Structure 1
Amino acid sequence: MFIYQKLRDSILKRQLAPGNQLVESVISDKLNVGRTPIRGAIRKLAEEGLVNVIPNRGAFVIQPTKEEIVQAYEIRMELEQLAARLAVPYMDETDYEHMQRLCDEEGETIQSSDFRAYLQVNKDFHMTYIRKCANMFLIEFAERMIDQTNIYLMLYEMVFFHTSPQTAPGAAEHRELIQIFRDRNEELAGMKVRSHIANAMKSLQIDNIQFSNLGDIF
C-alpha cells in the first residue's frame, strides 16, 4: 500500500512526469522490497487510469497527446450539454440548494489549495444535474468522461494554484449555471455547460510544469 500511495501521490502532485517509466528495479532498490508488491501497486494505478502497462516494454505514467485531451473534452462537452438540457424539467429547489452548498465547499477547497478535494466537489456539482437527466446511459458515459478529464486536470491544470474563491472563473460559472437551471432555460443551460467545460480545457498548461526523476521521489 505504501508503494501504491507513494507512486500515486507523486503522479498527482506532478513530481513524476507523464511518460516516465516506473522501473521496478529502481523502486525495488530504493525501498529494499521485492517485485510482487511493486507490480501490485502498478496494476492498481493502471486500473485507475494513471499508468499505462505496455507488454514487453513496462509501465509508464500516462502521457496523453493534446489531440487525445481535446477529443475527451469534446465528448464531455457534447454529453454534458445534452444532460443539462434534459435535466432542467426534473430539477427542483433541493437540487439548486445542494449545488449552492457545493459551490461554497468549492470555495473552501480553493482557499486551502486542496486540488484533489476540489476535483471531487466539482464532480459532485456536475453529477447533480447529470443524474437528473433521466437517461442511465448518458449518466454513465458522462461520469466516465468527467473521471477521464479529471485525470488530465490533475496532470496539467495550473490556474487553480493562482486563484482565490473570489477570482476563480469556474466557481463563478457554477453559480451562474444554478440560476440558469432555476430559470428553467434548457437551451441556455446546455450552452453554458458547454462553454464552462471548454474554459476548463483552456486552463491546462501541458508544457509548463517541472518534474522529478523516479529515483528522487522515495
Structure 2
Amino acid sequence: MDTVPQSRSGDITLLEKMRRQITNGRYGPGDLIPELTLAEEFGVSRTPIREALKQLQNEGLVEIRPRVGTFVRQPTRREIVELFELKESLEGLAAGLLARRGRVRELETLERNLMDSDRAAAEGDSQAYAELVHEFHWTLVRGADNRKLYETYERLMNQLAYHRIVVNTVARPERLKASDNEHHSVVEAIKSKDALDAEFTMRNHVRASSQAALRPIDEPQPARPGSIDDDAQENRRVEGGELRAC
C-alpha cells in the first residue's frame, strides 16, 4: 500500500525511509528526530542522517535548530489550507481523467477498496479505514494515467503528510462514515464516465475532508512526549498538521 518511490536499483533510499517515518506518523509535529537512533536503525553514520534531514528541511517537513536538534515542523493553518486547495484541484483532475478511461484496473481496485472500507466503517476500525483511505486516493491518482500529475501529487503529499492527517480525523465516527459515503459517490461518478461530475464529486469530498481537518485546529493541543513547544506557539502552529482528513 505504500507509495514511496524507489531508486533505480529498487531499494528505498535513506531519504525516502526517513521521509516516510514523518509522513506516516512515527514522528509527529514538534517531535525531536533522534539522529543517533536513526543511524543505528538504518546501519549508517550520523552524517548521511544529517544530510537527509537537510533535504527534509528544504521540503518543509522538519526544522533544524542549531545546537538544539531537529524537530518535525508544525505547519501553519494557512499552509494546510493552501495544500488542501492544491489537493482538491489535483484529485479532481485525476477523477475526471479516470472517468474518461472507462473500465480499467484502477477502477476495479477502487471497487474492492470500497468493500473493505465498508467493513472497516461498520466495525468502527478507524486504523484500518485510514490505511484504505491512503490506498483509495493513490489508486485514483494512478488511475489518471498522467505521470506529471502523479509526480506533482507525490510532492504535495510529502509536504502535507496526509496519512498522519487521516488518522485523527477518521477517529471521529461521524467523519469516518461520511468519508466512506463520499468515496462511494466518487466511484459512482467515475463509473458513469462523466468526467465533469467525477471531478465535481471528488472536489466536494476533498473540501469536506479539509473542513474536517481544520475544525479542531484552533483548539489548544496537549504537548507530546519528547517534543518542545515553539515560543508561545508563534502563528498558532498546529499539532493539527496531523489533524488528518480523508
Task: Give the TM-score taking structure 1 as reference length.
Answer: 0.69
Change beyond 3 A, Cα 1:146–1:109: farther
Match of 1:136 among 128, 135, 147: 147
RMSD: 4.1
Match of 1:105 among 112, 116, 124: 116
- In the aligned structure 2, how far is the partner of 1:89 from the partner of 1:179? 13
Amino acid at match of 2:192: D
Amino acid at match of 2:185: E
- In the aligned structure 1, how far is the partner of 2:200 from the partner of 2:96? 9
Matched, 1:185 2:197: no
Matched, 1:210 2:219: no
Match of 2:90 among 75, 79, 99: 79
Secondary structure of the corresponding residue to residue 199 of structure 1: helix
Amino acid at match of 1:136: R
Partner of 1:30: none
Partner of 1:160: 170
Match of 2:25 among 3, 7, 12: 12
Structure 1 segments, 4+ long, off by >6 Å, are none
Structure 1, unaligned stretches of length 5 or more? 28-35
- In the aligned structure 1, how far is the partner of 2:224 from the partner of 2:177? 29
Structure 2, unaligned stretches of length 5 or more? 1-16, 38-44, 228-246
Aligned length: 198
Amino acid at match of 2:171: F
Partner of 2:64: 54
Change beyond 3 A, Cα 1:168–1:154: same
- In the aligned structure 1, how far is the partner of 2:144 from the partner of 2:63? 36
Please tell me whether the aligned partners of residues 42 and 59 of structure 1 are also in contact (alpha carbons under 8 angstroms): no
Percent identical residues = 22
Match of 2:207 among 198, 201, 217: 198
Instruction: State the Cα distance separating 1:96 from its structure 2 match.
Output: 3.3
Change beyond 3 A, Cα 1:46–1:59: farther
Partner of 1:31: none
Task: Give the TM-score taking structure 2 as reference length.
Answer: 0.62
Secondary structure of the corresponding residue to residue 71 of structure 2: strand
Please tell me whether the aligned partners of residues 109 and 118 of structure 1 are also in contact (alpha carbons under 8 angstroms): yes
